[in-house]
């Protein structure tokens, strides 16, 4: 199990490993209010769909602590308002919405109790979401390891490790499992512009674990794939439509196209909580557009001319036809995706 601690709730506070400061500084961002959690999600103190979901759940717990001094009616009203704020903190990661829906359900089912008792119920639910993610990640890793050949050279994009979850990882969790099981693997990590999660976070995790790896510029991936130097591509997901279309960090779609041309297996690795059964295709996924400064600056230093217009989508959508399979905690979903993904709802 990874020693990296991304999220911890203790002393009525939420401690989030500040991923804006890695790899140079290992610091925790302390959340004492739900507004702190809202900021942490928006500013990417915490990122990665499963980690965002867990953080948001604890944000609801902090809201209950904040509002406990109010009478019951006011408490409930303010709690729903806090849930709405957290629900809308980022638009693409479906785990966020899933976690808040669970917390709202607990609130609704226990609204007749005293506020202190409601707080305890919410705390229990947030703890369950946290623990379930760890358990889910381990199952995903075990299923995923079954498709990793001995001596595999793996390409990954963005960060899908312990930092993106509550402590093990999705795509990087599969890589971890393969390494722990004794497979002689090698990993190429895309730097992942513009926020460089691959360079700052994945490379750091790989180094922490001692997994043989190299960091590459995003544009190097096509050459490696063309030259037959990649056996397998493993990436995460922020939302999966019921037909298998998948939203993931910008640059994923491009990788999938090149992989398809050169016949390289391309797998999505994600928990079933990332599947949005209510949407039919990737066309319905709202893509977050982030600030121009993420592209025009690196670590606060301007690298582009003043006044240049910028298009900065955080995610892109990979069509199901480009995907070999979707590795989940319930097994590996193969085509036809629409039919087989719906089975996971049963």
Active-site residues, by number, are 238
Binding residues for substrate: 47-49, 90, 197, 248-249
Rg (CA), the chain: 20
A 10 A CB-CB count for 316 gives: 19
- The answer to whether the CB of 144 falls within 8 A of the CB of 181 is no
Pairing of strands 331-333, 325-328: antiparallel
**Burial category of 23 from C-beta neighbours within 10 Å (exposed 0-12, middle 13-18, buried 19 and up):** middle
Q: To 10 degrees, what angle do helices 171-180 and 115-145 make? A: 60
- What contacts 320, CB < 8 A, 6 or more positions away? 241, 243, 244, 245, 246, 335, 337
Q: Are strands 246-249 and 315-318 parallel, antiparallel or unpaired?
A: antiparallel
């Amino acid at each position: 199990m990874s020693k990296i601690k991304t999220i911890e709730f203790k002393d009525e506070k939420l401690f989030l490993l500040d991923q804006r400061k890695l790899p140079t500084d290992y610091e925790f961002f302390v959340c004492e209010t739900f507004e702190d959690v809202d900021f942490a999600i928006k500013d990417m103190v915490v990122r990665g769909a499963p980690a965002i979901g867990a953080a948001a759940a604890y944000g609801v717990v902090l809201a209950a602590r904040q509002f406990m001094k109010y009478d019951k009616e006011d408490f409930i009203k303010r709690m729903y308002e806090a849930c709405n704020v957290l629900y809308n903190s980022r638009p693409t990661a479906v785990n966020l919405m899933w976690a808040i829906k669970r917390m709202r359900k607990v609130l609704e089912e226990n609204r007749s109790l005293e506020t202190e008792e409601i707080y305890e119920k919410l705390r229990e639910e947030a703890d369950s979401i946290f623990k379930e993610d760890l358990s889910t990640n381990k199952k995903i890793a075990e299923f995923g390891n079954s498709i990793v050949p001995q001596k595999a050279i793996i390409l990954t994009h963005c960060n899908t490790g312990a930092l993106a979850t509550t402590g093990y990882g999705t795509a990087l969790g599969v890589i971890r499992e393969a390494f722990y099981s004794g497979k002689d693997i090698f990993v190429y990590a895309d730097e992942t512009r513009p926020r460089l999660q691959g360079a700052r976070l994945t490379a750091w995790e790989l180094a922490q674990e001692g997994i043989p790896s190299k960091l590459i510029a995003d544009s190097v991936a096509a050459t490696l794939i063309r030259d037959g130097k990649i056996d397998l591509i493993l990436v995460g997901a922020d939302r999966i439509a019921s037909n298998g279309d998948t939203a993931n960090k910008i640059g994923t779609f491009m990788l999938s196209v090149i992989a398809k041309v050169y016949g390289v297996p391309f797998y999505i690795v994600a928990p079933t909580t990332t599947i949005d059964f209510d949407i039919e295709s990737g066309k319905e996924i709202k893509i977050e557009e982030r600030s121009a400064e993420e592209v025009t600056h690196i670590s606060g230093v301007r690298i582009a001319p003043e006044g240049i217009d910028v298009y900065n989508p955080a995610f892109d959508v990979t069509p199901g036809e480009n995907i070999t399979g979707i590795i989940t905690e319930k097994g590996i979903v193969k085509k036809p995706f629409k039919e087989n993904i719906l089975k996971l709802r049963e």
